[in-house]
Structure 1
Amino acid sequence: MTGSATGDNCDVNTDGNTGCGVQAPTAQSYGPSFNAIGGGIYAMERTNDFINVWFWPRNVAGMPSDASSGANSIITDAWGTPTASFPNTDCDIGSHFDENNIIINLTFCGDWAGIDSIFNGAGCPGDCVDFVNNNPSAFSEAFWDIAAVRVYQ
């Protein structure tokens, strides 16, 4: 994968539910930098052997045309190295993952942001709930503008 692992234990009952995330190699994959480039494309493929995630900034050279055009079929083998890759090593993906649900959500103080140590560790003052309640203008750039959601089987 092109990203860097931020943890290697995906069990929600360990490490304060920090999970087994991956930091993308570009800051353009989220936040103000993502907004500044007009977004991008995320793609995820789940099989019994692996879960792979790709990210391409909008209009980047080398973005697979089947991903950007909404083709009727895709060939992920031609997409290059994924940003994040979770191979089936110690976890039987087929027995632990069922049908996916797509949830699009701006969770200001959800699981991770609602933990003050994580909120403060990101340089945020006070606690998340108070900050959100008292600073609505801080979220003027917090929105989704989704061109498409495509599911392939």
Structure 2
Amino acid sequence: MPQGCGTWPAIWENGDHWPAGGEIDILEGVNDRGANLVTLHTTPGIHTGLDCNTATNGNAGCGAHLTDSNNYGPAFNLNGGGWFAIERTKSFVKVWFWGRSNSSSVPAEVAIGANGINSDNWGLPGAYFPNTNCDIGSHFGPANIIINIDLCGDWAGNPSVYSSSGCPGTCVDLVNHNPGAFSEAFFEIAWIKVYQ
């Protein structure tokens, strides 16, 4: 997983005509701080205790930090990596994470990338967004999977976020004058499976 000051790695789904088709951030974080943040960004009408509407709260969306301490940044890498899975239906969005050091808890079908799956056997997801007070199906359509690494940007480069992460100077100066700081800013992904 990408790591380092100034990095903003993400793996996400994005529908057509954003935000009408919805956005699900499966993996996202900045500057090696904290845990992975799973977030929904939508048009008005989805609330999970927070408003998922992109037009409110500075497009913060509604998110859930995964609780496993090895699910993001350097801790993820020191753990030898792991597996993420997302299930999206018209009734819910669920995201799971299993760390490599706890490989005995990983469902076998996930660990081997089986041709068929049954998520009912996977245990509780780390993030769960049910269709309780909203219509998930009308806010999320067909989506593309996007894997990207921003350098700085609105979140990682935000001066208060950047400095509170213990990062030196300013994010823009780090990018412009210290390219070696990004030697660990890359993804190494064994495979991606999509089931329909």
Structures share fold, TM-score greater than 0.5: yes
Equivalent AA in structure 2 for residue 66 of structure 1:
E
- Which of 72, 76, 84 is equivalent to 2:127? 84
Alignment partner, residue 136 of structure 2: 93
Equivalent AA in structure 1 for residue 151 of structure 2:
F
Distance 1:31 1:4 in 2: 12
- Tell me, yes or no, if structure 1 residue 131 matches structure 2 residue 174: yes
Where relative contact order (Cα < 8 A, 6+ residues apart) is larger, the structure is: 2
Q: 1:138 to 1:122 in 2, by over 3 A?
A: same
Q: TM-score if structure 2 supplies the norm length? A: 0.69
Distance 1:122 1:150 in 2: 33
Distance 2:128 2:147 in 1: 21
Equivalent AA in structure 2 for residue 88 of structure 1:
N
**TM-superposition CA deviations, 1:105-147 (whole Å, max 9, x none):** 1112234224333333433344322222222222222211110
CA contact (8 A) 2:86 2:93 kept: yes
Q: 1:99 to 1:26 in 2, by over 3 A?
A: same
Distance 1:4 1:109 in 2: 17
Distance 1:120 1:15 in 2: 22
CA contact (8 A) 1:40 1:56 kept: yes
**TM-superposition CA deviations, 1:23-67 (whole Å, max 9, x none):** 111221111111112211000000011000000011522110011
Distance 2:97 2:125 in 1: 8
Equivalent AA in structure 1 for residue 94 of structure 2:
N
Which consecutive unaligned segments of at least 5 residues does structure 1 have?
Answer: none
Q: Hey, which of these two has a bigger chunk of strand by percent? A: 2
Q: 1:39 to 1:81 in 2, by over 3 A?
A: same
Give the alignment of 1:12-51 within 5 angstroms.
Answer: 12-51=54-93
Distance 1:111 1:140 in 2: 22
Alignment partner, residue 62 of structure 1: 105
Q: 1:118 to 1:10 in 2, by over 3 A?
A: farther
Q: TM-score if structure 1 supplies the norm length? A: 0.86
Distance 1:83 1:94 in 2: 21
CA contact (8 A) 1:43 1:55 kept: yes
How big is the alpha-carbon RMSD for the aligned residues of Structure 1 and Structure 2? Answer: 2.3
Equivalent AA in structure 1 for residue 88 of structure 2:
R
Which consecutive unaligned segments of at least 5 residues does structure 2 have?
Answer: 1-35, 40-48
Equivalent AA in structure 2 for residue 74 of structure 1:
I
Alignment partner, residue 9 of structure 1: 51
Distance 1:137 1:27 in 2: 27
Distance 1:50 1:140 in 2: 38
Distance 1:108 1:66 in 2: 35
